[in-house]
Homo-oligomer: A and B are copies of this chain.
Amino acid sequence: MEELGLRERKKRRTREAIMDAAFALFRESGFDGVSVADVAAAAEVSKPTLFAYFSTKEDLVLRRFLDDTSGPAFVIRNRPSGVPALKALRQSYLQRLAKRDTLTGLNDSTTAITFHNLLYSTPTVMTRLTVYMLAQERELATELFASGELDDEFTANIVAAQVFGVQRILADHNAQEIRSGRTADEVYPAAITRAEKAFDMVEAALV
């Protein structure tokens, strides 16, 4: 059924080519040292085509890593019945740690490190990531409220904000440890401990 016509395959290859060209150039000269025109030229497409695939320059960096993120709204909706929302979120986050999801910061592959260096050294990219996270936070809030597990919409918003705030801080810490030269496997146990403590705090807030 996934009959992927030639047209779709081509589009996918073009998309990959653009992302790869961008990543290579950014790694070499930094985000601000490369213009989108440069990227387009390297990927052998025109500038309008590039923007048909990625709506901002920052997305050239972020899109790849955002896609494989199982959104927390999804986690809530598909949790086994009987499992409290926050437990499901905690579990999902621990799984992402185990999988070395790039956005947890706990990934020492060269691409992940380049990614985090770009993120760390380029405010506009960081900002754009924040925008995506805030969108997900709102999704989570509505899903939490819809799940009926929380008193009111206000509390749902607060909890969603706390969950995302916590994940952001956790990612910062993990990425910083990786950036300081330690391996992901080395940091993993401490990362789990921190995550558990952070989620404990969020849960404690609810009592």
Which A residues from 71 to 122 make CB contacts under 8 A with B?
none
CB-CB contacts of A106-140 with B at 8 A, as 1s and 0s?
00000000000000000100010011001000000
Which A residues from 131 to 188 make CB contacts under 8 A with B?
131, 134, 154, 157-158, 161-162, 164-166, 168-169, 172-173
Task: Report the contact-size class of chain A (Cβ under 8 Å from the partner).
Answer: 20 to 34
- What's the number of copies of this chain in the assembled complex? 2
Q: Complex Cα distance A177/B119, Å?
A: 36
Contact B165 A158 (CB under 8 A): yes
Contact A201 B158 (CB under 8 A): yes
Dominant SS among interface residues on chain A: helix
Contact B123 A194 (CB under 8 A): no
Contact B194 A205 (CB under 8 A): no
Chain B proximity of A18: nearest CB distance (Å): 24
From B154, B166, B206, B207, contact of A169 by CB (8 A): B154
- 12 of the cross-chain contacts (CB-CB < 8 Å) are A127-B127, A130-B134, A154-B169, A154-B197, A157-B173, A158-B166, A161-B166, A161-B168, A162-B166, A204-B204, A204-B205, A205-B205
Q: Complex Cα distance A162/B201, Å?
A: 10
Contact B154 A161 (CB under 8 A): no
Task: Tell me if A192 counts as interface (CB < 8 A to partner B).
Answer: no
Task: Tell me if A22 counts as interface (CB < 8 A to partner B).
Answer: no
